[in-house]
Amino acid sequence: MSTLKTHNLQSPDAGSVNIAMAPNAGMVVAGLSTYSNQINVGSNIKLGSAGVVTATSFVGSGANLTSIPAGSLTGTVADARITTLTASKLSGALPAISGANLTNLPAQATIANNADNRVITGGSGVNLNGEAGLTYNGQALNVNSVTSENNAFRIYNTTDNSVRYQINGEGNSFIGHTYPRSDGNLDLGFHSGYRWRDLIVSGGVRFGASGGNHYLDDYEEGSWNPTYTTHAGNVGSVSYSHQAGWFVKIGHTVMVAIDITVSSASGMSGNTCIGGFPFQSNFRQGLGYYYAGTMNWYIQNHHSNQPVFTGWMMGNTSLLRILYGSHWNNLSNCPLNQTGRMSFSLWYTTNS
């Protein structure tokens, strides 16, 4: 291998290339131009021992540039140069945007008086309001009202423009009632157009004051089978061609109607009775019996000349002792073992 050693090289065109070489100093090129003008190296390129190239600008596509650290890239990239930017290539915090220069934005909604659990209601435009008196916590809906408010809560039917249900500030939910509520001024239903259909209770109804004397706890009506029978004797054998009874019970009072036709009767003895009443009688004022009153009746074959017919309920039994006579001072047991029709009505009381 040959070695070229010189202190100074100069091209035929002294103005084009000036190369100076000094011992142990390397080669310094002040300017270099090729004859074909393909390369122009000026003072903007410096090659040092670190292999670093610096320049004021680079021109070209840069398609083959690799391993350039992001921190070394500065300046502005024109929008036209950005074609595809994926989310995975974005990192770090985005700069804050003030929005001071944004225009033509829609009006923004605002909420006044907002707090936990308040229901938001609309106002004029985009104004919303948190209602302090209307709250919902996920389990309970609470509506605040005042005593004098007639429509604290209501269901309004827009089909016929009528109020179907309402609760006023006093908690009264019945149609036709307005503030103020007063004693004896509260109806169940309304007499015109808002009547209730059925009242179903497990207890009873109290009229007027408190106490058992004002309490009605039962109403019942139905049918039963009256019998022609006896007390303190033999009931014998009795057959019927018609046997019917009806009753209405209001509280402890029982009203009954009896209509039977005895077709045959034999072997009867004792006190003549009508039995099979739907409820047992009770004791009144310590007595074991009481009169049931005069009743319309007839029994064929033995009612002639006996205009008085009456009887009394035996206490704690379902038996009515029946008596007849020509007048009230001459009464005796009705005859036994008789046939014919017996029809009458009476009332009595019971503990049932």
pLDDT of residue 290: 60
pLDDT in the model for residue 37: 47
φ, ψ of residue 250 to 5 degrees: the values are: -120, 110
Dump pLDDT digits (tens) for 323-345: 888 888 888 998 899 998 888 88
Confidence bin at 199 (pLDDT 50/70/90): confident
pLDDT at 1: 47
Residue of 190 and 220 predicted with greater confidence: 220
Residues facing residue 119 across a β-bridge:
131
CB of 346 closer than 8 Å to CB of 279? no
Q: Which of 1-5, 221-225, 341-345 tops mean pLDDT? A: 221-225
Strand partners, 287: 284
pLDDT of 101-151, one tens digit each?
A: 888 878 888 888 999 999 999 887 788 999 999 999 999 999 898 888 888
Q: What pLDDT shows up at residue 257?
A: 93
pLDDT of 182 above 50: yes
Greater confidence, 322 or 46? Answer: 322
Q: Tell me the three state secondary structure of residue 347.
A: strand
Structure tokens at 153: 């809560």
What's the pLDDT score for residue 45? 54
Residues 212, 272: Cα–Cα separation, whole Å: 36
Mean pLDDT for the stretch of residues 176-188 = 70
Return d(Cα 313, Cα 175) in angstroms, integer.
48
CA 289, CA 282: separation in Å to the nearest integer? Answer: 8
Question: Looking at per-residue confidence, does 319 or 209 come out higher?
Answer: 319
For residue 277, pLDDT over 90 is answered with yes
Dihedral Cα 96, 101, 103, 105, nearest 10 deg:
30
Residue with the larger pLDDT of the pair 207 and 298: 207
Would you state the pLDDT for residue 41?
A: 54
The pLDDT value given to residue 272: 95
Question: Is pLDDT above 70 for 204?
Answer: yes
Q: What is the pLDDT of residue 48?
A: 54
pLDDT tens digits for range 150-164: 888 888 889 988 877
pLDDT in tens, 32-71: 554 444 455 555 555 555 556 666 676 777 677 777 776 6
Number of C-beta neighbours around residue 350 at 10 A: 19
Could you report the per-residue pLDDT of 72-89, keeping only the tens digit for each?
Answer: 667 666 655 666 667 776
The per-residue pLDDT of the chain, averaged, comes to: 78
Segment among 167-171, 223-227, 304-308 with least mean pLDDT: 304-308
42 vs 14: CA distance, rounded Å = 16
Q: Does the pLDDT of residue 289 top 80, yes or no?
A: no
